[in-house]
Amino acid sequence: MITVHKNRPLLVKSGCAAAALLWMTAAPAFAMTVDHDLEKWTSTVNHNLNQAIHEDINDQANDGVQVSVLGLTIDKEGHPHDIHMVHPTGNMILDQEALRVAKDVYYPPLPNSLHSKAQNIQVKLLFDSNLQELADVNRQVTRQLREQNKDVAIELAQEQLAFNENKPEV
């Protein structure tokens, strides 16, 4: 025979509350770890590198997405050293662009938690002519929407002025 303790719902609720409290106190600890700082910093660098790829070079990646992986060492001020190809795309033009971008792009200083030694990292540069075309279309659509929104805002402002001028005094 199974007996259910009358305080069981209270025990379940308090157990859930304790688990939530434990998770909330543990989550900030991960946010302050060296691994998390390096992951966040590397993500920013990957984004900066991929944004710096020249459009006309990117258009040459016409066989779908091609990935170039570079290795480099970063000192605490964010200066890159020993930039080298880890995994080439096989397209010499794309690989040369990857190396050019890696040498020219801005690297932010490393977070304080990573200052004890230079960091050896790998970064991925993605080449895809279809993604570039999509980005170009998105830019054009965004520009058109901004213009439309500006026109609508001007029209609304004019209507508001006309309404205020014709508003009867109370």
CA–CA distance, 55 with 64 (Å, rounded to integer): 15
CATH number for the segment(s) 61-127: 3.30.1150.10
- In the prediction, which pLDDT does 85 show? 94
- In the prediction, which pLDDT does 47 show? 81
Q: Is the pLDDT of residue 157 over 80?
A: no
Burial class (CB in 10 A: 0-12, 13-18, 19+), 66: buried
Q: What is the 3-state secondary structure (H, E, C) of 142-155?
A: HHHHHHHHHHHHHH
The residue that leads in pLDDT, 38 or 105, is 105
**Among 40, 123, 127, residue whose Cα is nearest residue 83:** 123
**Among 119, 118, 79, residue whose Cα is nearest residue 102:** 79
Please state the pTM of the whole predicted model: 0.53
Q: Which secondary-structure segment (H or E) carries 123?
A: strand 119-127
Q: Is the pLDDT of residue 104 over 70?
A: yes
Q: Return all residues near 95 (Cβ < 8 A) that are at least 6 apart.
A: 68, 85, 88, 89
User: Of the ranges 19-23, 67-71, 112-116, 151-155, which is most confident?
Assistant: 67-71
Domain locations along the chain: 61-127, 129-170
- In the prediction, which pLDDT does 118 show? 79
The residue that leads in pLDDT, 44 or 100, is 100
The residue that leads in pLDDT, 68 or 85, is 85
**Among 110, 113, 108, residue whose Cα is nearest residue 30:** 113
pLDDT tens sequence across 17-51:
555 444 455 444 444 566 777 788 888 888 888 78
Give the pLDDT band of residue 113 (cuts 50, 70, 90): confident
- In the prediction, which pLDDT does 52 show? 78
> Three-class SS of residue 119?
strand
- What's the sign of the alpha-carbon dihedral 151, 157, 161, 162? positive
